[in-house]
A and B are shown apart, each in its own frame.
Chain A
């Protein structure tokens, strides 16, 4: 069992739909990242959070430390949101990231 598990692995949505991607982890963490990787390969850090909720535009990230679970929500999805979304946790030593397998999101017009 991976230390960081994401679901679903693949997600197809219609433009405008509300999207949720889930991340569960089994280790103690100091923080959790949500990353976005477009087909060209570059990675953008969307959020880093250690408690509660963060919002940036149409993106919302939440984390429940007790349940070791985080969610990434996209409101009013758009085709340009199509990408791989990766959950990564920062261990309690504060140095290395452990990555989930990623969720391939496709938003159709």
Chain B
């Protein structure tokens, strides 16, 4: 089956620093990747849709200057949390669609990255 990886799996950083999270599709090319955020005991919240070679589409209320998304290749999307603050502490999950599958709309999820900002 399609595999999506994330790196790092967890990160602790100081307030004010920037953190980059990578999402990779390992055995397929993903033209579209999605970034989600999950708070404890809550469901996933879509932050943005990342399309290879173009600007990401952010959901309402998500600051695009704070959460920078780059999808420079068909197998890699990155999320950079800039000037992180404690309220950015959360579990960040990416997913990717394999356009080669039928139906291609199935999404495959990464293992998530737990960010703690001190």
* Interfacial residues, chain A to chain B (CB-CB below 8 A): 30-31, 33, 35, 40-45, 48, 50, 86, 88, 90, 94-97, 99-102
What residues of B have a CB within 8 angstroms of the CB of A96 in the complex?
34, 46, 49
Give the nearest-CB partner of A95 in chain B: B49
Complex-state Cα separation, A2 to B61, whole angstroms: 19
- Closest chain A CB from B117 CB (angstroms): 17
Q: How many A-B residue pairs have C-beta atoms within 8 angstroms? Tell me.
A: 53
What residues of A have a CB within 8 angstroms of the CB of B111 in the complex?
40-43
* Interfacial residues, chain B to chain A (CB-CB below 8 A): 32, 34, 38, 42-44, 46, 49, 91, 93, 95, 103, 105-112, 114
- Closest chain A CB from B77 CB (angstroms): 16
Complex-state Cα separation, A44 to B107, whole angstroms: 10
What residues of A have a CB within 8 angstroms of the CB of B103 in the complex?
31, 48, 50
Q: Interface SS of chain B: helix, strand, loop or mixed? A: strand
Q: Interface SS of chain A: helix, strand, loop or mixed? A: strand
Question: Is the CB–CB distance between B49 and A41 below 8 Å?
Answer: no
Known: A96-B46, A99-B43, A99-B44. A41 touches B109 (CB 8 A): no
Question: Is the CB–CB distance between A41 and B112 below 8 Å?
Answer: yes
Jot down 18 A-B pairs with beta carbons below 8 A, ordered by A: A30-B105, A33-B107, A35-B109, A41-B38, A41-B112, A41-B114, A42-B109, A48-B103, A48-B105, A86-B44, A90-B105, A94-B105, A96-B46, A97-B34, A97-B46, A99-B43, A99-B44, A102-B43
Known: A41-B111, A41-B112, A43-B93. A100 touches B43 (CB 8 A): yes
What residues of B have a CB within 8 angstroms of the CB of A102 in the complex?
43
